[in-house]
Structure 1
Amino acid sequence: MADSVTPRLYSCYKCHNLISRHDDIVSKDFQAINGRAFLFSHTMNVVLGPQQDRRLITGLHTVSDVHCRDCGEVLGWKYERAYEESQKYKEGKFILEKFKIVKDNW
């Protein structure tokens, strides 16, 4: 009988609501206002804020803040649109600030 592997997960640091899986990390090499951030391909149990244009380190992007569905904490943002061709790979992906997420099932 094969051992079942428990996925490594990330949760909201405030209320421990499940937010994403370790396997959904695209890159750990991102910078947010308050420090390091991870780029994720998928999230769960979040609510998106209104879209707005923001000038980030890598140029102008249309983003939506990502809020925890349970406690409302802002955890990062979703890239809705990138205006520079070299940044298009970020579209539809999520930035979560490292200090706002905690490891679960590790």
Structure 2
Amino acid sequence: MAQQAGPRIYCCCKCQNRVSVHEDIVSKAFQGRHGRGFLFSHAMNIDLGPKEDRHLMTGLHTVADVYCKECQEVLGWKYERAYEETQKYKEGKFILEKSKIVKEDW
């Protein structure tokens, strides 16, 4: 079996800008606006939209949309605040939608 040479990277589906690494996935069991989403502990090369309160499947959260820094495609959102105690673990983490990201050469 071939060994992985470097980090497994996820990129924007539109412009291939690198936005996160596989090792930063916290969970693959999330729902985005357009299907499945992954919860990441970190994201890079992104811009954040304004914070806003949204009622999501797990309750009220303050979130900011995540945009690709290169092409401004909406990739998901960042959890800024969770109002329910059981959801606090999401704070500071990112949902990147599976349909909006692609694997880079792996």
Q: Normalising by the residue count of structure 1, what TM-score does the alignment of the two structures yield?
A: 0.95
Query: How far does residue 5 in structure 1 lie from its aligned partner after superposition?
Result: 2.7
SS at match of 1:75: strand
* CA-to-aligned-CA distance 1:4-24 (integer Å, 9 cap, x gap): 831100000000000000000
Which residue of structure 2 aligns with residue 38 of structure 1?
A: 38
Percent identity, aligned pairs only? Answer: 68
Which residue of structure 2 aligns with residue 13 of structure 1?
A: 13
Report the aligned-residue RMSD: 1.1
Runs of 4+ in 1 over 3 A off after TM superposition: none
Aligned-partner residue type, residue 69 of structure 1:
K
SS at match of 1:47: strand
CA distance in 2, matches of 1:4, 1:66: 28
SS at match of 2:70: coil
Which residue of structure 2 aligns with residue 97 of structure 1?
A: 97
* Structure 1 stretches lacking a partner, 5+ long: none
Aligned-partner residue type, residue 102 of structure 1:
V
Inter-CA distance 4–35: structure 2 relative to 1 (3 Å threshold): closer
Aligned length: 104
Q: Normalising by the residue count of structure 2, what TM-score does the alignment of the two structures yield?
A: 0.95
* Structure 2 stretches lacking a partner, 5+ long: none
